[in-house]
Amino acid sequence: MAQIKTLQPSLFHSIKTAFKRYDFEFYLLRRNPLTMIGLVIIVIVILLGVFAPTIAPYNPLDVAPAVRLQGPSTQHWMGTDDYGRDILSRVLYATRVDLSIAFSAVTLAAVIGVTLGAAAGFMRGGTDEVTMRLLDIVQAFPAFILAMGLAVVLGSGQSTIVYVVAFIMIPVFARLTRSEILSARERGYTEVARCMGATNQEIVFKQMLPNCMTPILVQYGLSMSYAFLDAAALSFIGLGVHPPQAEWGSMVNQGVGFIASGQWWMSFFPGLIMAITILGFNLIADGFRDVFDPKLRN
Amino acid sequence: MDDTLLRVSDLKIHFFTYRGIAKAVDGISFDVQRGEALGLVGESGSGKTVTGMSVLQIIQLPGKIVSGDIVFKGTSLVTMPEDQARSLRGGKITMIFQNPRTSLNPVLTIGEQIDRVYRQHTGCSAKQTQERRFEMLEKVGIGDSIRFSKNYPHQVSGGMCQRAMIVMAIICEPELIIADEPTTGLDVTIQRQITELLGEMRQRINATEILITHDLGVVAETCDRIVVMYAGLLMEIATTKDLFSRPRHPYTIGLLKSIPRVDVDEEPIPLPGYVPNAYSRPAGCPFHPRCQFAEEICRQQEPALQEIEEGHFVACHLVEEVG
């Protein structure tokens, strides 16, 4: 009689077994250096954001007219702005703000979008039609224009950015989840679960969704980059975080007027860290997509 | 008869699609006695699986039970509210599917999947459930049940997956097990083991079984009575012994002749043609285009199921001539 092969039981082995399903994928991830670079970038950026109060050499809000508009130096690595505030400190605090905006916005969008998509895909019929047509309407607008309009209506501020960015991202998550649920509906395990007396909620949340997580996570990574861009863009045009508080987009905006007169560092450094962060998230999402989409594997 | 566990009467299940109405099951009636093993036999597309699913009330739109009744222990399943039906499913009535690999959820461990079924129906604590799971896994011949429980379906063989499925199906000690081609998709050697195991488990918990299959060999070994379906209709109902020794319906005769046999020096004769499409079943007897005995009446009138001997029903106009 066929027996399951018994190996020396150990904690290490059981952890390894749990992840065995993804072993090959992890292997590919490690093999793809760009993905690793992306991962390293993100980890560094997150650490910088989290420990900003510890790392920052100055208070980001301290005005010092004596040192205004100074270029990068050993005292101020990234120079100072027109109020004499230290750009490095402001960039670090801005990282904190932008990270929390992007994470909250994308998480919110994912939770709502996945729920809507799962409901539409599972219930089909009228629910599906209504949900998807409403999402069509949202997607029919150019996303950023819609975000601007909503931000104006809601009034600028950090929480507004979170809601607005989340709102324009909901359709992507909903569509993705719907298509995944539609295919999961036809799988044997769904039918078995139904036969064994599982309720609809259990079938959706405990049987189907765990099977749909991979593409949703990839989308989560991709959406992070867009969330940074959107949040910064909204702040750049003055609809986001209010001035004394540091934020990448508003810092870039603040420095724009000084580029012509040679004080490039005011816009350059916040723009640089934003670009690097977005690059990091894009690399990771790309790497994941390559791993989980066998067609793109080389 | 008091011993009737399940009575299906004039059941019609139609699928309403863009192409038209597919009459998957179109007026079938049969009884299942307590404790027996009933074989539901027919070619692909004859409505066997849909019949099985209708007993569990899991026919999904666009499929619908348009008429008829299914009575389980005196209660109609067709009119039963969904929450009651749900507590029956997996509890008193369970189903085992073909292709065990795809029937288990790939991202959950086997142990988790078994436990869910048991806890849902009994409300036992996690610890009691775990003990019960180990006990059941050992009964189906899995030695290292602790390690086995932690495996994901892709980590074990198809036969092992089907053992896990059987545990899921019998852990709540159901009264009726519907096995839908439980050995399809398994190696021949494993098929045998699974068939035997299923029979043994069924006897241990004293359950009734409906075995849906196209494999007449399995039916001959394990079933007490056989129902032959064709194009959503019943062709013949008989005890296994009668059906194999004195088949009366030309379709059954054809099926039996198409099986290669080693003990008789005859070439198997395949049945010509295919099962008719459920959208456009031929008028009259659905089998007449493939039937070598067909006469004018077969093209015009649908034969009724008649009892020709005690417990032996046949739906054929020419039963006297053919028999």
CA–CA dist B179, B172 (Å, integer): 16
Query: For chain B, what's the residue count?
Result: 323
Contacts A197 to B, Cβ<8 Å:
86-91, 117, 120-121
pLDDT, tens digit, for every residue of B83-131?
888 888 888 888 888 888 888 888 888 888 888 888 888 888 888 888 8
**What's the gap between Cα A102 and its chain centre?**
5
Tell me, what DSSP letter sits at residue A8?
-
The per-residue pLDDT for B85 is 83
The per-residue pLDDT for A9 is 45
Contacts A206 to B, Cβ<8 Å:
108, 116
Contacts A196 to B, Cβ<8 Å:
89-90, 94, 116-117, 120, 168-169
**Do the Cβ atoms of A196 and B94 come within 8 Å?**
yes
The per-residue pLDDT for B323 is 57
* pLDDT grade for B322, boundaries at 50, 70 and 90: low
The per-residue pLDDT for A1 is 39
Q: Is B168 exposed, middle or buried (0-12, 13-18, 19+ CB in 10 A)?
A: buried
Q: Which of B103, B108, B110, B167 to mutate to test the interface with A (most CBs of A within 10 A)?
A: B103
CA–CA dist B173, B79 (Å, integer): 24
Q: Which of A3, A11, A191, A195 to mutate to test the interface with B (most CBs of B within 10 A)?
A: A195
The per-residue pLDDT for A115 is 94
CB atoms near residue A40 (< 10 Å) = 12
As given in the structure block, the two tokens for residue B51 are 């019949």
Please name the residue of chain A whose CA is at the shortest distance from the CA of residue B115: A196
Please name the residue of chain B whose CA is at the shortest distance from the CA of residue A213: B107
Burial A255-293 (b: 16+ CB within 10 A, else e): beebeeeebebbbbbbbebbeebbbbbbbbbbbbbbbbe
Report helix angle A265-292 to A87-123, nearest 10: 30
Give the per-residue SS3 of chain B.
Answer: CCCEEEEEEEEEEEEEECCEEEEEEEEEEEEEECCCEEEEECCCCCCHHHHHHHHCCCCCCCEEEEEEEEEECCEECCCCCHHHHHHHECCCEEEECCCHHHHCCCCCCHHHHHHHHHHHHHCCCHHHHHHHHHHHHHHCCCCCHHHHHCCCHHHCCHHHHHHHHHHHHHCCCCCEEEEECCCCCCCHHHHHHHHHHHHHHHHHCCCEEEEEECCHHHHHHHCCEEEEEECCEEEEEEEHHHHHHCCCCHHHHHHHHCCCCCCCCCCCCCCCCCCCCCCCCCCCCCCHHHCCCCCHHHHHCCCCCEEEECCEEECCCCHHHHC
Residue A110 CB contacts under 8 Å (≥ 6 apart), including other chains: A173, A216, A219, A220, A223
C-beta of residue A294 within 8 angstroms of C-beta of residue A42: no
**Do the Cβ atoms of A195 and B106 come within 8 Å?**
no
Greater pLDDT, B38 or A9: B38
* pLDDT grade for B267, boundaries at 50, 70 and 90: confident
Instruction: Flag whether pLDDT at B49 surpasses 50.
Output: yes
Report helix angle B126-139 to B110-122, nearest 10: 120
How far, in Å, are A44, A95, A219, B282 from residue A50 at the CA level?
10, 9, 24, 74
pLDDT averaged over every residue in chain B = 84
- Answer left, alpha or beta for residue A8, where phi above 0 means left and psi between -120 and 50 means alpha: beta
**Do the Cβ atoms of A4 and B150 come within 8 Å?**
no
C-beta of residue A139 within 8 angstroms of C-beta of residue A132: no
Is this complex scored with an ipTM above 0.90? no
CA–CA dist A187, B117 (Å, integer): 18
Tell me, what DSSP letter sits at residue A4?
P
The per-residue pLDDT for A13 is 53
Instruction: Flag whether pLDDT at B278 surpasses 80.
Output: no
pLDDT per residue rounded down to tens, chain A (298 residues): 344 444 444 555 555 555 555 555 666 666 677 888 888 999 999 999 999 888 888 888 888 888 788 878 888 888 888 888 888 999 999 999 999 999 999 999 999 999 999 999 998 888 899 999 999 999 999 988 999 999 999 988 888 999 999 999 999 999 999 999 998 888 888 888 888 888 888 888 888 888 888 888 889 988 999 999 999 999 888 888 887 888 898 899 888 888 888 888 888 999 999 999 999 999 888 887 777 665 554 4
Per the DSSP assignment, residues forming a β-bridge with B238 are B226
**What's the gap between Cα B196 and its chain centre?**
16
As given in the structure block, the two tokens for residue B292 are 């070598």
Q: Is A137 exposed, middle or buried (0-12, 13-18, 19+ CB in 10 A)?
A: exposed
Average pLDDT estimate for B262-268: 77
Report helix angle A158-185 to A87-123, nearest 10: 30
Average pLDDT estimate for B56-64: 81
As given in the structure block, the two tokens for residue A201 are 């909620």
The per-residue pLDDT for B304 is 83
pLDDT, tens digit, for every residue of B290-320?
888 878 888 888 888 888 888 888 888 877 7
Query: Which of A98, A36, A88 has its CA nearest to residue A225?
Result: A98
The per-residue pLDDT for B136 is 85
Gyration radius of chain A's alpha carbons: 23
Q: What is the phi/psi pair of residue B239, to 5°?
A: -70, 155
pLDDT, tens digit, for every residue of B160-195?
888 888 888 888 888 889 988 888 777 888 888 888
How far, in Å, are A110, A117, A294, B242, B262 from residue B107 at the CA level?
21, 20, 19, 46, 45
Q: Which of A19, A189, A203, A208 to mutate to test the interface with B (most CBs of B within 10 A)?
A: A189
The per-residue pLDDT for A168 is 93
Contacts A14 to B, Cβ<8 Å:
150
Average pLDDT estimate for B197-210: 86
The per-residue pLDDT for A19 is 55
Query: For chain A, what's the residue count?
Result: 298
As given in the structure block, the two tokens for residue A66 are 């004596």
Query: Which of B71, B160, B80, B172 has its CA nearest to residue B118?
Result: B172
Contacts B116 to A, Cβ<8 Å:
196, 198, 202, 206
Query: Which of B270, B239, B245 has its CA nearest to residue B257?
Result: B270
C-beta of residue A284 within 8 angstroms of C-beta of residue A42: yes
**What's the gap between Cα B296 and its chain centre?**
33
**In this complex, is the C-beta atom of A211 within 8 Å of any C-beta atom belonging to chain B?**
yes
Q: What is the phi/psi pair of residue B75, to 5°?
A: -115, 135
Burial B256-283 (b: 16+ CB within 10 A, else e): beeeeeeeeeeeeeebeeebbebeebbe
Please name the residue of chain A whose CA is at the shortest distance from the CA of residue B106: A211
Query: Which of B202, B234, B239 has its CA nearest to residue B219?
Result: B239
Q: What is the phi/psi pair of residue A108, to 5°?
A: -60, -50
Interface of B with A in 90-149 (CB under 8 A): 90-91, 94-95, 97, 99, 102-108, 116-117, 120-121, 141-144, 147-148
| Amino acid residing at A25 | E
**In this complex, is the C-beta atom of B81 within 8 Å of any C-beta atom belonging to chain A?**
no
Query: Which of A70, A95, A92 has its CA nearest to residue A81?
Result: A70
Q: Which of A20, A187, A192 to mutate to test the interface with B (most CBs of B within 10 A)?
A: A192
**Do the Cβ atoms of A192 and B155 come within 8 Å?**
no
The per-residue pLDDT for A28 is 60
pLDDT, tens digit, for every residue of A206-256?
888 888 888 888 899 889 999 999 999 998 888 888 878 888 988 998 888
**Do the Cβ atoms of B106 and A199 come within 8 Å?**
no
Q: Of A14, A195, A206, which has the smallest distance from its Cβ to B89's Cβ?
A: A195
* pLDDT grade for B4, boundaries at 50, 70 and 90: confident
**Do the Cβ atoms of A6 and B147 come within 8 Å?**
yes
CA–CA dist B225, A199 (Å, integer): 34
Q: Of A9, A124, A210, which has the smallest distance from its Cβ to B108's Cβ?
A: A210
Q: Of A14, A192, A197, which has the smallest distance from its Cβ to B150's Cβ?
A: A14
Per the DSSP assignment, residues forming a β-bridge with B89 are B93
Q: Of B103, B151, B168, which has the smallest distance from its Cβ to A4's Cβ?
A: B151
Q: Is the dihedral of CA B235, B238, B240, B246 positive or negative?
A: negative
CA–CA dist A185, A193 (Å, integer): 11
Residue A244 CB contacts under 8 Å (≥ 6 apart), including other chains: A61
Tell me the whole-structure pTM to 2 decimals: 0.79
Q: How far is B23 from chain A (nearest CA, A)?
A: 21
As given in the structure block, the two tokens for residue A126 are 């009228």
Lowest mean pLDDT among A267-276, B7-16, B273-282: B273-282
Contacts A211 to B, Cβ<8 Å:
105-107
